Amino acid sequence: MRLLRGHLLILGFLGAAIAAPAQAQQPSGNYPPPCDGTQVSKSDVDRAHAVFLSGKQFLEESNYDKALGYFQDAYTIDCSVHAILPIIATAYERKGDKAEAIRALEEYLKRVPNASDREVVERRIKNLKDQLPREPAAAAGAASAPAPSVEPLAAPPSPGAAASAPVFAPAAKPPAPSTTAPSGLEVRHSGWPWVAVGLGGAAVLVAAPILFAVGNSDVSSAQLKCGGSRVCPSTAPPDAIGQGNGGRALETSAFVVGGAGLALTGAGLLWHFLERTDAPATSARVGAVILPHYTGVGVSSTF
């Protein structure tokens, strides 16, 4: 019974350690007011990174409306990562909405006036603005162009007529704007390694000491009943032997739990430093559609 009581103490503690209320946040469709990184929790940072990666996936699939929705959600969750604005501009540009792309880039320069890529962004804004006046003219020219005449199929070519047709070189495809995640997002890690570290630390610092203390107390009580000896004589009370054996089992369990906790802590730290941070989100932060709820010991599951 005492061994069972010790195991129940471990299960109760570990269950309380991993249970945390999930939080949901509904981002707006417009750019949120800028904020400082110290105002954003670690949980929101991780959520925003996962949502951003999902938006990047839709951008690569040319689903620009969904990509924009996820990018704006990510920026609403973590309003300190202003480097996501050029990515939003890329989605608008590919969609064909150059005016909104310009607005996103100008908002980026306004919020990050000392940005290291300021000259690149300014040239990009200039190129987009130069394209705006030409687009209506090109559309009007295409509408007013006369329909090409069609020669009858039976009409033979006239003698001496040039048979060669003009050759047009294919237009060079412009380089696609970079969709690399901003550096503030790429360095994010998932929260699962820290869950492992937290559980391992709880086993070493709390569960193992509790088990050892309960077991040692039972062994001491049994020794008193056996006249101060760890070997009970035949005249000792019947429950003294069972109490002593149960106490020794709890002491042994304390060392086993402590060793497992140390191993789990080391594995969590190794996981954290070896984890890839540039892969698309495929884990549960955050299912296939990621407006996730995260639980854990002060961390979230998989921005």
Cβ–Cβ under 8 Å, residues 190 and 280: no
- Quick check: 276 pLDDT over 70? no
Q: Poorest-confidence range of 38-47, 51-60, 277-286? A: 277-286
Long-range pairs for 159-167: beta carbons < 8 A, 24 or more residues apart:
none
Q: Say which residue the tokens 């394209």 belong to.
A: 131
* Cβ partners under 8 Å of residue 72, min gap 6: 27, 28, 29, 30, 31, 88
- Quick check: 83 pLDDT over 70? yes
CA distance 225 to 254: 24
pLDDT the model gives residue 152:
44
- Quick check: 11 pLDDT over 60? no
The residue ranking higher by pLDDT, 136 or 58, is: 58
pLDDT the model gives residue 226:
78
Q: Say which residue the tokens 């559609």 belong to.
A: 289
User: What are 147-196's pLDDT values in tens digits?
Assistant: 444 444 444 444 444 444 444 444 555 555 555 555 555 545 678 888 88
pLDDT the model gives residue 148:
45
pLDDT the model gives residue 280:
45
CA distance 27 to 41: 16
Q: Please, where are the H alpha helices in the chain?
A: 2-18, 42-60, 64-77, 84-95, 98-111, 118-144, 183-186, 192-202, 208-225, 238-274
What mean pLDDT is predicted for residues 214-221?
85
Look up residue 179 and give its two tokens: 């969709």
CA distance 183 to 303: 12
pLDDT the model gives residue 272:
80
User: What are 95-132's pLDDT values in tens digits?
Assistant: 999 999 999 999 999 999 999 999 999 999 999 999 88
Encoded amino acid at 230, one letter: R
Cβ–Cβ under 8 Å, residues 32 and 65: no
State the DSSP code for 39. Answer: G
Q: Say which residue the tokens 């925003």 belong to.
A: 48
Cβ–Cβ under 8 Å, residues 207 and 261: yes
Cβ neighbour number for residue 219 with a 10 Å cutoff? 19
- Longest CA–CA span in the chain (Å) reads 132
* Torsion angle (degrees, nearest 10) of CA 286, 292, 293, 295: 20
CA distance 245 to 249: 6
**Length of the chain, please?**
303
- What is the fold of 31-136+179-186? 1.25.40
Phi and psi at 54, nearest 5°, equal -65, -40
The residue ranking higher by pLDDT, 244 or 85, is: 85
CA distance 150 to 123: 45
Q: For the chain, what are the domain ranges?
A: 31-136+179-186, 192-274
CA distance 91 to 97: 9
CA distance 58 to 69: 10
Encoded amino acid at 226, one letter: C
CA distance 74 to 181: 12
Predicted TM-score (pTM) of the model is 0.39
Give the pLDDT band of residue 36 (cuts 50, 70, 90): confident
- Quick check: 289 pLDDT over 70? no
